[in-house]
Amino acid sequence: MKSAAELKAEILRLTREFSKLTHGSNRPGYEQNPNRKFVAGETTVPYAGRVFDENEVEAAVSSTLDFWLTLGPEGEAFEDELAKILKVRKSILVNSGSSANLLAITALTSHKLGDRRLKPGDEVITVAAGFPTTVAPIIQNNLVPVFIDNDPLTLNARADQLESAFVQGKTKAVFMAHTLGNPFNLSVVTEFCKRHNLWLIEDNCDALGCRYDGQQTGTFGDISTQSFYPPHHLTLGEGGAVNIVKEMRLKVLVESFRDWGRDCWCASGVDNTCNKRFGWKLGELPEGYDHKYIYSHLGYNLKPLDPQAAIGRAQLKKLPQFVQARMDNWNTLRAGFADLEEFFDFHLPTHATGWSKEGGFTWDNSGHKTECSWFGFMMLVKPTAPFSRRDLAKALDAAKIGNRMLFGGNLLRQPAFVELRKERPDAIRVVGDLPGADRIMNESMFVGTYPGLTPDMLNYMIDTTHKFIKQK
């Protein structure tokens, strides 16, 4: 009879063989892979997707065989490894990027923060065009989102509108995303938050691996968030993280709201970390009530599973190559579309003023620069073009080339926000007319830059777009 260790080793060896035979299309596009065939017009070119090999599959199977299942040793290791990569105090795993955003803003409503807690009616500055779960948690916590406009070329917030959005005594935080892998103007935003003593939450879900003046995004604010949904920079299947940048008191609050609202900070399966499990007197409970069942907040259950973290640990090892592939793929597309500037305005990194085939980006005189781990390649169809954004999107769809709008576009045009403003006009405040967000909504679309794209796929995207334009 084989031992359990021998059986597990044999299962994992066969697992790797199985993965190599069946998951070849999910390997990185920059690998030489003679078994991966691309047929133009027949093979789908996704805008994003899972990129993995036998290492992730083995990690998932190994963790499942151990059958811990709930968040445990793999989760703890992933949190430590992610925090080390980002150089933050703590990373806390959750079940999605949307949950991460919910927890980040909810933690700041805790009574344990005293005078700095966010209270109902307090205002949080955010940006109009983007993904709804950056904004929804603000409203769900009875706070008031204050919308400023987007710059249609960077897709990020117009930092020059921050002061117009600020109201003394009401504005308490800024919560916005580094859109499509492009850091927002962190020099202006961080100075603004520091001057007015505001919380800063960075939605870093689209931007893992981006840098601003050499420093990674997700490390400038008080809290940042990550998403590990398959289209994102790393995947755990589902999953996300809340990063605690400086103040460790926020760690306890995020974990409390993640774990039912409990006051206890023991890890799963661990008792009496505080050495006074039966020595607390909190609320109106009797003295000595079991600390594992004391709840200081109205919380949730937003933990992922341990096998997901095992997959994530294998993914983390590939992050540098994935980031470089996103940059390389973006550059390939930009060079391939260089002759189409008559028809498109193209995405620019924050602080960039232009791009040329010979010299790359030119920069403004601020002294700041960004390095983008691009989530996608954005194109704005000019009003003078002989085709619309919709025409191009339909043509790419027909050619099996994945493409997307910038998520929800101008969120204030979405049905949920239209109805909210009708029912509760004071639930939202808007600065100006938002022409940039409307232009993004009406004219922008993006195609993929993710690491699974092969050179053949990138060339097919370029050729298909050129052929479409020639027919117009």
Residues designated catalytic = 232
Closest to 411 in 3D by CA, of 128, 126, 178: 128
Question: Any idea which residue has 């029912």 for tokens?
Answer: 423
Instruction: For the sheet with 376-381, list strands across it.
Output: 344-346, 376-381, 444-448
Q: Which residues contact 247 (CB under 8 A, 6 or more apart)?
A: 89, 222
| Phi, psi of 295, deg, nearest 5 | -120, 115
Regarding beta strands 199-203 and 240-244, do their DSSP bridges make them parallel or antiparallel, or are they unpaired?
Answer: unpaired
Q: CA 265, CA 274: separation in Å to the nearest integer?
A: 8
Q: Indicate the DSSP class of residue 338.
A: G
Q: Which two tokens stand for residue 158?
A: 């117009």
Q: Which two tokens stand for residue 81?
A: 């490894």
Q: Which two tokens stand for residue 137?
A: 């948690």
Q: CA 301, CA 413: separation in Å to the nearest integer?
A: 32
Please give the angle made by the CA atoms of 210, 213 and 218, to the nearest 5 degrees.
40
